[in-house]
Structure 1
Amino acid sequence: MSTASTVPTELTRPEAQRPEIVELGLPAVENPGEVAPKDAREISKSFFVRLASLEEGTHEYQYVRNTLIELNLALVKYAAGRFRNRAEQMEDIIQVGTIGLIKAIDRFELSREVEFATFAVPYIIGEIKRFFRDTSWAVHVPRRLQELRIDLAKAVDELSQKLDHTPTTAELAEHLGMDEEEIIEGVVASNGYTAGSIDMPMDDASDHGAVPLSDRLGAPDAELEIAENVQALKPLIEELDERDRQILQMRFGEEMTQSEIGAELGVSQMHVSRLLSRITARLREGLLVVE
């Protein structure tokens, strides 16, 4: 997943590269990721105070900022736990949530007089939800239709309880204040949220047991096209003279070679070839005429 590159690599800092903690006036935190949540909240306050006084881009600023990230990774794991039932790997969800944590750290101000955890969790959850919204669809659809799918799901639940039946398109349109065409577009787009393989077995009560969906899907009937062409050719063949119809019968009905047809008609094989080319060209031209 590409989001991993957005998380700072300095989270694991060699000792030689750390600034002097005493000079920063901060408590020593050897393993920020192992600090208990309650202690992390108190330590974070000191680091936020120091972060506000440092120049962005300096080594000291990066040290304080990255320590804050490590101190508060527990918030990401807490928020990510709400999405354990999703198909995506938990590692990916935590990576995305960490991006939300970083955004919260960059935008947090102590003057807000609110706990950092209260401020950060909405950022983390919002980033995870945005990840699901942008990547979970099996077929890409416009953002407008992705959001409409959520509105439709809520509207169906509300109207089903109120009306005691599945709402119609007109009822959904009236409830949401939209046109019926927009509702239909949203319903069709919702079909693109999930997709399954046609080779996936389907359970049923038949004697044959589970069979792939592909075995139940229809396919174009090649014989149908042949039948259509035969019906279209009949009136064109009737317009041919008797000799041309005889040549067609011998070549395509009795499957005789051009030499055999020539011997039957008393002409050369080359002449038969020219006659067949002329006849088939005439029939082909008749089939391609658009009325």
Structure 2
Amino acid sequence: MSRRCQTHSGAAIINEAVHVTRPSSSAAPSSTSSPAPNSDESIWNGASSLLSVPSTCGDIGATWDITSESGPNGNINWLNCGINDSGGWRPQVVRIDQVVVQDLSKALADKNSPFLACSGYVDEFYKYGNEYGIPPIMLASFAMQESSCNPATVGGAGEQGLMQLTPDKCANAPGGNCKDIDFNIGAGAKFLKSLLDENGGNVIPAIGHYNGWDEGMTYSSATAAAKTGCCRCQNNLDYLHQFLNGWCQNVNAYQYNLGIYHNLAACPYG
């Protein structure tokens, strides 16, 4: 829920494509019981084909090779459709069950997985992903994008914990501790589900809204804060690509320097 782009955790920046292994099958959640986090089976096994949906913004440009501007869920220019035009952002329509994602349990079996930082919270990602019909790796991806999966993180505007909850979502936190792991992930998942419902099940604006994007957002409006005393209050224009074609593919979006805008790169941290 923060506009801040996180640090790269000291990792060397890699400027090369990474190939995604095609998941074996595609399945929507079929029950209310969560699989064991380390099980070989999952209710979310991703998709065996690239994202393919009706488009009003030209070629989707999806590729199995993840580059600075493309990946299984489309090209950054398609995900950001309209941002560079006067009319602003026109998010395309994609249901959550159409998004290409990797399975979180299988991702964690990779010794190089960025989600090893989230390994202590897998039960909660499955618990609330299953409750709200959201791929667990998507919830973990928000945690990586927003806080590098560090539950102690506090944002510049007071955002709390793993998924950077804004203060208005912390009212019912146990003992007033909004960084409580179970509460924080549950509240973040509930908020994402509310965004999905508000957008008729369209996951693209839901993800964008989580990070402060709005339909009609232009490059100028997204980067206006760069000229103020709050440079990091800009919208991260690489957010959708980093999220959907980076973290959701078990790829460290920061280490692989995903994106073409890097509009927060000149901003000081803190």
Structure 1 and Structure 2 fold alike (TM over 0.5): no
Instruction: Calculate the TM-score normalised by the size of structure 1.
Output: 0.23
Higher relative contact order (Cα pairs below 8 Å, separated by 6+ residues): 2
Instruction: Calculate the TM-score normalised by the size of structure 2.
Output: 0.24
Return the index of the structure with the highest Cα Rg.
1
